[in-house]
């Protein structure tokens, strides 16, 4: 199929993007890497009156760590995150980016596009939820930040207003030895994950876990924070029994009861338990 007709504009500055959005109203769509929008246009699942290309807008493709935060611009490509030396606190960001689709998708797709698309299977949304990211939105009315926990509302629906542009994600994580990892399962490389987990913690000198973070993807309408599982592990030594109990509790935090033709709810919960156990074991065993 071919897209329905629309007006196209290639913006050269963020100010121009905001002005065009203000003029076009609710019917406009932003185009960055196009890996989410173009298929929707082709199948006429999206019929915008205007498409605003932001791919050439400057200053939205920076990766910067300062003030204890990792700031990632909306136009940073997945491949750039994959290849960036993000270790320790931010390792889950790099690992998640490396698992998105195939290489051509990662070369074109952007962080902002992935977060704004709000696919429940999107890897970066899970990491943003685990690492308490702030999503930075801008419009002609000014700038505001929305916590990742409040940004994802439902599949393909976010808290961004029609005239707002996602310009940056600011990932936060504790200092002092905090580390994060990402795990997922898909039947083939590049396929959508049946379940995914972003996990992180800080291990003290006695081997006890603190600042535990666990978020789940592909097992609900939005990324899910497994708060009870986090609390169960906080202050405990990362021995096998404690990890197994935390993994069990994380699996109960999701309710993919309906499932789909790929995998039913029981199977996805079993995957969550296995992935959490794998992630926490990595955090324990890797120096």
Residues whose CB is less than 8 angstroms from the CB of residue 213 and which lie 6 or more positions away in sequence, other chains included:
130, 131, 132, 173, 180, 198, 199, 200, 201, 230
Does residue 2 form part of some domain?
no
The residue out of 154, 172, 190 marking a domain boundary is 172
Q: Determine the structural domain holding residue 39 and report its residue range.
A: 7-53
Residues 153 and 183 in one domain: no
Does residue 58 form part of some domain?
no
Stated length of the chain: 287
Does residue 18 form part of some domain?
yes
252 in Cβ contact with 272 (< 8 Å): no
Residues 161 and 85 in one domain: yes
Does residue 161 form part of some domain?
yes
- Give the chain's residues under pLDDT 70: 1, 257-261
pLDDT (0 to 100) of residue 259: 57
Inter-residue long-range contacts of 149-154, CB under 8 Å, 24+ positions, other chains counted:
149/225, 151/115, 152/118, 152/125, 152/222, 152/223, 153/118, 153/222, 154/118, 154/221, 154/222
pLDDT (0 to 100) of residue 18: 94
Residues 224 and 273 in one domain: yes
For the chain, list the strands marked E by DSSP.
Answer: 7-10, 28-31, 50-53, 63-66, 69-73, 134-139, 142-147, 152-154, 157-158, 165-172, 179-185, 195-203, 209-217, 224-225
pLDDT (0 to 100) of residue 239: 95
Does residue 223 form part of some domain?
yes
Does residue 1 form part of some domain?
no
Residues 183 and 281 in one domain: yes
Q: How many CB atoms lie within 10 A of CB 208?
A: 16
- Mind listing the pLDDT tens digit for each residue in 78-100? 999 999 999 899 999 999 999 99
- CA distance linking residue 224 with residue 287, whole number of Å: 28
Residues 252 and 274 in one domain: yes
39 in Cβ contact with 2 (< 8 Å): no
Phi and psi at residue 101, to the nearest 5°: 50, -145
Residues whose CB is less than 8 angstroms from the CB of residue 189 and which lie 6 or more positions away in sequence, other chains included:
102
pLDDT (0 to 100) of residue 9: 93
Identify the three-state secondary structure at position 136.
strand
Q: Which residue has the tokens 């076009």?
A: 24
Computed from CA positions of residues 20, 25, 28, 29, in that sequence, does the dihedral angle turn out positive or negative?
positive
Tell how strand 69-73 and strand 28-31 pair up: unpaired
Residues 166 and 189 in one domain: no
Query: What is the total count of domains within the chain?
Result: 3
pLDDT (0 to 100) of residue 257: 65
Does residue 149 form part of some domain?
yes
Residues 37 and 70 in one domain: no
Domain of 239: which CATH number? 3.30.390.50
Q: Residue 217 burial (CB < 10 Å; 0-12/13-18/19+)? A: buried
Tell how strand 179-185 and strand 7-10 pair up: unpaired
Residues 68 and 123 in one domain: yes
The residue out of 143, 172, 201 marking a domain boundary is 172
Residues 208 and 232 in one domain: yes
Q: Which two tokens stand for residue 230?
A: 């986090």
101 in Cβ contact with 39 (< 8 Å): no
Domain of 45: which CATH number? 3.30.43.10
Please state the pTM of the whole predicted model.
0.94
The residue out of 139, 172, 205 marking a domain boundary is 172
Residues 48 and 76 in one domain: no
């Amino acid at each position: 199929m071919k897209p329905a007709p629309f007006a196209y504009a290639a913006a050269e500055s963020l100010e121009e993007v905001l002005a065009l959005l203000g003029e076009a109203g609710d019917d406009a769509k932003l185009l960055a890497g196009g890996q989410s929008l173009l298929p929707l246009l082709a199948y006429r699942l999206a019929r915008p009156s205007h498409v605003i290309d932001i791919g050439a807008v400057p200053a939205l493709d920076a990766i910067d760590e300062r003030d204890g935060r990792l700031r990632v611009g909306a136009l940073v490509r997945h491949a750039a995150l994959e290849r960036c030396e993000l270790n320790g606190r931010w390792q889950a960001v790099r690992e998640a980016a490396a698992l998105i689709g195939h290489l051509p998708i990662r070369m074109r797709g952007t962080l902002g596009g992935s977060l704004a698309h709000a696919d429940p299977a999107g890897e970066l949304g899970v990491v943003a939820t685990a690492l308490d990211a702030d999503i930075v939105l801008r419009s002609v009315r000014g700038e505001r930040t929305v916590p990742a926990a409040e940004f994802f509302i439902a599949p393909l629906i976010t808290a961004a207003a029609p005239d707002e542009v996602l310009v940056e994600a600011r990932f936060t994580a504790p200092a002092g030895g905090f580390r994060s990892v990402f795990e997922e399962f898909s039947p083939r490389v590049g396929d959508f994950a049946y379940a995914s987990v972003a996990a992180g913690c800080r291990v003290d000198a006695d081997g006890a876990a603190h600042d535990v973070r666990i978020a789940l993807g592909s097992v609900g309408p939005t990324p899910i924070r497994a708060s009870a599982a986090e609390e169960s592990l906080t202050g405990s030594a990362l021995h096998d029994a404690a990890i197994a109990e935390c993994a069990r509790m994380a699996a109960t935090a999701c309710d993919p009861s309906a499932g789909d033709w790929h995998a039913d709810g029981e199977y996805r919960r079993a995957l969550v338990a296995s992935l959490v156990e794998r992630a926490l074991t990595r955090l324990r065993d890797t120096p």
